[in-house]
Amino acid sequence: MTWSLSGKMVESCTCNMLCPCWFGVKELMVMDKGYCAGPILFRVQSGTSNGADLKGRDVVLGFDFPGPTVLDGNATSRLYIDDKADPRQHELLEEIFQGKKGGPMAMIAQLSSKWLPTQKTQIAVSDDGNNLTATIGNFGQIRSRQLKNEKGRSMIVQGAGLASAFQMEDETFTLAPSGTEWSDMEMPHPQITTKSGAVAKFSWKG
């Protein structure tokens, strides 16, 4: 059965601004801390799979790459799914975001050697279009603030490799430094603070 998802992605990680992984060139992917970890929030604004409506659900992908680059893989990953999702929505979102239904997440799944059990948790989001705060159960808060220039225009990057791989709209993302505090005691790095961040629109089909 075909599926589709579109919405807003809010990325944050432990690298300094801007995370070099966005460029998609292995030689440039030097992790500031020797590893790269963080949560990525996906806000599903429209979507269906196997006849089920997935609109309005939130999913967080937690990742922890040991290095030396993301492309070397061996990541530990976990999904945190909105507790408002019914059992069918939960199952379908898990399949999509673990790459089992193809699409861009299949690439991420190939880089993850270990998936921790998915967590069903409350996800509360405040978003004014420029500043976003998402509280994910007891795991932490994702905080994102879009960068503006002196004329008040958002600072964007277009054509970066990871934007293409994630099927971002127009292969474009907006720079949005994060100030996220995250804690998951089953992750290799159980407590992290993020600095780098980006915001983009995604549109996937499978």
At residue 83, the pLDDT reads: 98
Q: Which run of H or of E encompasses 21?
A: none
- Which helix (H) or strand (E) covers residue 172, if one does? strand 172-175
Let me know: does 180 contact 141? Beta carbons within 8 Å: yes
> What pLDDT score was predicted for residue 145?
95
Write the single-letter amino acid at 133. T
Q: For the chain, where are the alpha helices, taking DSSP H only?
A: 87-97, 105-110, 161-165
* Residue 99, H or E segment: none
Would you state the pLDDT for residue 71?
A: 87
Q: Residue 1: what pLDDT?
A: 63
User: How far out from the chain centre does Cα 109 lie?
Assistant: 13
By residue count, the chain amounts to 206
Query: Are the beta carbons of 182 and 140 closer than 8 angstroms?
Result: yes
Distance CA 31, CA 67 (A): 7
Token couple for 73:
């893989």
For 49, the domain range is 3-205
- CATH at 171: 2.40.400
pLDDT at position 32: 87
pLDDT confidence of residue 126: 97
Residue 54 token pair: 């997935």
Domain total in the chain: 1
Q: Per DSSP, what are the bridge partners of residue 5?
A: 47, 204
In tens digits, the chain (206 residues) has pLDDT values of: 689 999 999 999 999 999 988 888 888 888 989 999 999 999 999 999 999 999 999 999 999 999 888 888 899 999 999 999 999 999 999 999 999 999 999 988 899 999 999 999 999 999 999 999 999 999 999 999 999 999 999 999 998 888 888 888 899 999 999 989 999 999 999 999 999 999 999 999 98
Instruction: Say which DSSP state 101 is in.
Output: T
